[in-house]
Amino acid sequence: MNYFTTTSQPSKRAVDCAIVGIYDRGKLGAGASDIDSASGGEIRRLVKRGDISSKLARCTMLTNVPGIKADRVIVAGLGKRADFGAAQLRKVLAAATRLISETKTRQVLNCLSLESVSRTSRYYVARHSAEAIGDALYRFTEMKSGRKPAASALKKVGFCIAKRSDASDTRLGAEHGGAIVIGASLARDLGNLPANVCNPSYLARTARKLATGNGKLSTRVLTEAEMRRLGMGSLLSVTAGTKEPAKLIVMQYKGERNEKPVVLVGKGVTFDTGGISLKPGPSMDEMKFDMCGAASVIGVMAAVAALELPINLNVIVPAVENMPSGKATKPGDIVKSMSGQTIEVLNTDAEGRLILCDALTYARRFKPAAIIDVATLTGACVIALGAHRSAVMSNTDALRDELVDAGARAGDLAWPMPLGGDYEEQLKSNFADMANIGGPAGGAVTAATFLGKFTDGLTWAHMDIAGTAWKSGAQKGATGRPVPLLSEMLLARCGALP
């Protein structure tokens, strides 16, 4: 997507479509007001007739508006002026974009960047706008046969600004938003692909492809033999039942010379049947999304590489398929992790933690400044927080706050949950150093507590994205979360925010 800024009046700019807004009780936004005057009161006339609604995200498309240069005008409902914040802005632009994508509009002028958006700077107004438009244009048609619906014609998004001095922050916000869309779209594609296409080898190929031709980025893929030599008995126990070879994907981005890296670890279970502790049938197809943690950290890497951020970032993806078979791990089996600790596998469906613990141990060699694992780890997290917020657990309060705050700024919400302490009791095993499950009570917390046994001495956080990574039902599909949250955290860390 191309972005530009302009200080000219919306009515004087020749574009395929201009987006303007109207608040409740007929109050016109800045762009609507300008177009209304230039057209001799066209917008007010239509409002009076009841043909234009100010209800949030209700959009009306006008053509042949006299006295202006734009071919089309979308008048978007902005709701109550006092309530117009970043989330409302995103909703409105998503709706406007859906309307635009049904037309042949190639350039659009977003006049909503002239509005004051509560508690949102010019930079974030532009970034949220670029993200909302990009997300709304996303389509997943790869697996459909026959003639594919044409990709949207939209190639250029302009931002109206009130004064020249708003240009640099607006342009930066749009550029960052565009990169986040690239990362989130990649994450959504990987999530939406079926497990018979997106298997561990496919994830490895995708990671390799991202690195080709990029001098700052390299990808290494470890095979099962190499993992066996490293002593990753826990990870390998999950892949025992499948014919698909497991991979440990290691991506390194060097944008800085001498800094310790941030390490992101993403759960890459390309399909989770539960193994011998087989899952029930209904909705099992959704377990193709059990690699969304992996998809999101690869997506973040794509965004960081696109922006060439001055930061060091490593991404580690343990990629496996969890299947039952005559060779599969059985409940009660005891495995030895790379850390040396032994684990009694009481439930083969608690497999995410079994691959993550070895990936976390492996990550120690990079001496991370901070390490964050991202995983669709527990159904219990969906019960606790639903689809609205990802859970954040950490052994370091500052890192936990950093992630939750980044999520709030990015509009990709998260919430803190506890860890360790009393919850350790639930992981006791009569036979091994620990069990891999802690019972149904506090399931999201005991899962994080399990991982905490492998992160001694590291500045570590865990994100459970089981509720946020994908949508079920008619809108079934990957969301690309938490790519915006993690990107925001990295942008802040390397001083790239205004």
Angstrom distance (rounded) from CA 340 to CA 234: 10
Both tokens of residue 77?
């409902």
DSSP output for 331-392: TTEEEE-TTS-EEEES-TT--HHHHHHHHHHHHGGG--SEEEEEE---HHHHHHHTTT-EEE
Among ligand BES, Zn ion, Mn ion, none, the one that 437 touches (CB under a kind-dependent 5 to 8 A) is ligand BES
Q: Which of 353, 389, 453, 493 is catalytic?
A: 353
CB of 115 to ligand BES, least distance (A): 38
Note whether 321 binds Mn ion by CB under 5 A. no
**Residue 260 known to be catalytic:** no
Terminal CA-CA length for the chain? 22
DSSP state of 475: G
| Burial (CB count <10 Å: 0-12, 13-18, 19+), residue 403 | buried
Site map 451..480 versus ligand BES, x via CB under 6 A: ---------------x--------------
Residues touching Mn ion: how many (CB under 5 A)? 3
Pairing relationship of beta strands 268-272 and 247-254 according to DSSP bridges:
unpaired
Binding residue for Zn ion, selected from 31, 352, 411, 442, defined by CB under 5 A: 352
Stretch that binds Zn ion, among 19-27, 211-219, 333-341, 344-352 (CB under 5 A): 344-352
Residue 129's H or E segment, with its range, is helix 122-137
Among ligand BES, Zn ion, Mn ion, none, the one that 443 touches (CB under a kind-dependent 5 to 8 A) is ligand BES
Binding residue for Zn ion, selected from 34, 36, 131, 272, defined by CB under 5 A: 272
Query: Tokens 């009841």 label which residue?
Result: 50
CB of 272 to Zn ion, least distance (A): 4
Note whether 349 binds ligand BES by CB under 6 A. yes
Nearer to Zn ion, 293 or 480 (CB): 293
Q: Which of residues 378-417 bind ligand BES (CB under 6 A)?
A: 378-380, 382
Contact in structure between 334 and 343 (CB atoms under 8 Å): yes
Q: What is the torsional sign of CA 226, 231, 234, 236? A: positive
Nearer to Mn ion, 273 or 314 (CB): 273
Contact in structure between 306 and 357 (CB atoms under 8 Å): no
Note whether 272 binds Mn ion by CB under 5 A. yes
Angstrom distance (rounded) from CA 231 to CA 233: 6
Site map 333..352 versus Mn ion, x via CB under 5 A: ----------------x-x-
Note whether 443 binds Zn ion by CB under 5 A. no
Cβ count within 10 A of residue 55: 12
**Residue 267 known to be catalytic:** no
Note whether 464 binds Zn ion by CB under 5 A. no
Binding residue for Zn ion, selected from 42, 290, 464, 488, defined by CB under 5 A: 290
Annotate 439-454 with three-state secondary structure.
CCCCHHHHHHHHHHCC
List contacts with Zn ion (CB under 5 A): 269, 272, 290, 352
List contacts with ligand BES (CB under 6 A): 272, 290, 347, 349-352, 376-380, 382, 437, 443, 466
Active site residues: 279, 353
List contacts with Mn ion (CB under 5 A): 272, 349, 351
